[in-house]
Amino acid sequence: METETIAVPWSVIPDYRCFGCSPHNPGGLRLRFTAHPRGLQARFRLGRGFESYPGVVHGGLTGVICDEVMGNLIVIARRRPAFTVSQRTRFVTPLLVDHEYVCVAELSANDSGALIQASAEISDADGALCAGSSATYQPFDFRDVRHQITLDDDEVALLSRALLDPEPTPNGVTS
């Protein structure tokens, strides 16, 4: 049984170009998200276009993938976008080109005030841990960051409406 893909709020903008999750970015990762009992997950397989050493995925992409799944979990569960303030990633083993992996993100139970804490793990097809990451995020309102992001008034309105609906489930994710 295939799990239903969760649409990110950004998908209301017809040509959004997020490197991590947009299907419109030909050079991007094109991650798709599904609900996970702990939060949100993305299954992925990266080809040679994302290689560093022969046969090895560039290590920086490990952090990008974790950040993407954590960040989208926050948007979906908390109904607010958030900028990454800090991120720490621990590499257990390199990710290999053309191998299946899954990244699972969850929110921390001990958020500190206005900041949101999240963590993510990447595992291989056998369930072995390959990397782990933890990050702190600062939520924002689109109207307050207009000088930092290029959204017109109609796009801000679309995104604001998309963040209002639907109601999250106990783990923060709707499926």
- Report residue 163's pLDDT band, with 50, 70 and 90 as the boundaries: confident
- Report residue 130's pLDDT band, with 50, 70 and 90 as the boundaries: very high
Contacts of 47 (CB under 8 A, 6+ apart): 97, 98
- Cα separation, 101 vs 130, in Å, equals 9
Contacts of 14 (CB under 8 A, 6+ apart): none
- Cα separation, 175 vs 161, in Å, equals 18
- Cα separation, 157 vs 143, in Å, equals 10
CATH number assigned to the domain covering 36-156: 3.10.129.10
pLDDT at 11 over 90: no
pLDDT at 94 over 80: yes
What pLDDT does residue 112 have?
64
Tokens of 96: 């290999």
Whose tokens are 């959004």? That residue is 16
- Cα separation, 15 vs 88, in Å, equals 31
What pLDDT does residue 111 have?
65
Average pLDDT over every residue of 90-107: 98
- Report residue 171's pLDDT band, with 50, 70 and 90 as the boundaries: very low
- Decide which of 79 and 99 is more confident: 99
3-state secondary structure 133-172: EEEEEEECCHHHHCCCCCCCHHHHHHHHHHHHCCCCCCCC
pLDDT tens track for 102-125: 999 999 977 667 899 999 999 999
pLDDT tens track for 43-78: 999 999 999 999 999 999 999 999 999 999 999 999
pLDDT at 172 over 70: no
Phi, then psi, of 69 in degrees rounded to 5: -70, -40
- Cα separation, 61 vs 35, in Å, equals 22
pLDDT at 165 over 80: no
- Cα separation, 70 vs 116, in Å, equals 10
